[in-house]
């Protein structure tokens, strides 16, 4: 907001900028959580491969089970971050709709458009990250099931 906040008179515009910044902050947090989740799943997949290759290595199996639990916890945290980001997005879309219906000066319209562009860039990055997490989840599930089968455990 910075210097422009003094020149913006419409409260809806100010609210749009504040909510937009919050969405950007939340999507940044979402990205950090998603990257952590991917990292945990990568660790688990590596452990699953090691466990899969060694039929009777109890240490490898224990490490795999430990990392699978950590990956599942990271996925739960990730899902919560997704919900939070979705709620923030709904807020910014609602305020943008409200702002669009107002008769605003060119400066206010320009500032709102600029904010919307920033938000959309963050959301585009979020969509790419969602795809990466989905792909990693598929690989994680496959290795988890294959390892369970190989070690005669019930499939989760």
Confidence (pTM): 0.71
- CA neighbours closer than 13 Å in the CB half-sphere of residue 14: 10
Provide, rounded to the nearest whole percent, the portion of the chain with pLDDT above 70: 92
Task: Establish if 2 belongs to a structural domain.
Answer: no
74: left (phi over 0), alpha (psi -120 to 50) or beta: alpha
Assess if residue 89 is contained within a domain.
Answer: yes
Instruction: Share the mean pLDDT of the chain.
Output: 80
Instruction: Give per-residue pLDDT as tens, 95-111.
Output: 777 777 777 777 777 77
- Give the model's pLDDT for residue 68: 87
Domain ranges, residue 33: 7-149
DSSP 4-29: HHHH---HHHHHHHHHHHHHHHHHHH
φ/ψ of residue 10, rounded to 5: -80, 125
- Give domain status of residue 155, yes or no: no
Instruction: Specify if 48 maps to a domain.
Output: yes
Q: Residue 1: what pLDDT?
A: 44
Instruction: Note whether residue 97 is domain-resident.
Output: yes
- Whether 156 is in a domain gets the answer no
**pLDDT tens digits for range 3-46:** 445 555 677 777 778 888 888 888 888 888 888 889 988 998 88
CATH number for the domain that contains residue 96 = 1.20.58
**Residue 111 and residue 105: Cα distance in Å, rounded?**
10
Rounded (5°) CA angle 107-111-114:
140
Tell me whether residue 1 is in a domain. no
Query: How many domains does the chain contain in total?
Result: 1
In a domain, 114, yes or no: yes
């Amino acid at each position: 907001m910075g210097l422009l906040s003094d020149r913006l008179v419409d409260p809806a515009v100010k609210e749009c900028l504040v909510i937009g910044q919050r969405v950007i902050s939340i999507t940044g947090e979402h990205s950090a959580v998603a990257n952590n989740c991917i990292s945990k799943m990568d660790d688990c997949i590596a452990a699953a491969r090691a466990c899969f290759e060694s039929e009777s290595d109890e240490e490898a199996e224990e490490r795999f089970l430990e990392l699978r639990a950590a990956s599942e916890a990271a996925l739960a945290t990730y899902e919560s971050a997704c919900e939070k980001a979705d709620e923030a997005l709904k807020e910014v879309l609602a305020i943008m709709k409200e702002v669009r219906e107002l008769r605003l000066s060119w400066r206010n319209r320009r500032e709102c458009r600029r904010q919307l562009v920033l938000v959309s860039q963050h959301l585009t990055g979020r969509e790419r990250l969602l795809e990466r997490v989905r792909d990693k989840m598929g690989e994680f599930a496959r290795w988890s099931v294959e390892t369970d089968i190989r070690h005669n455990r019930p499939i989760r």
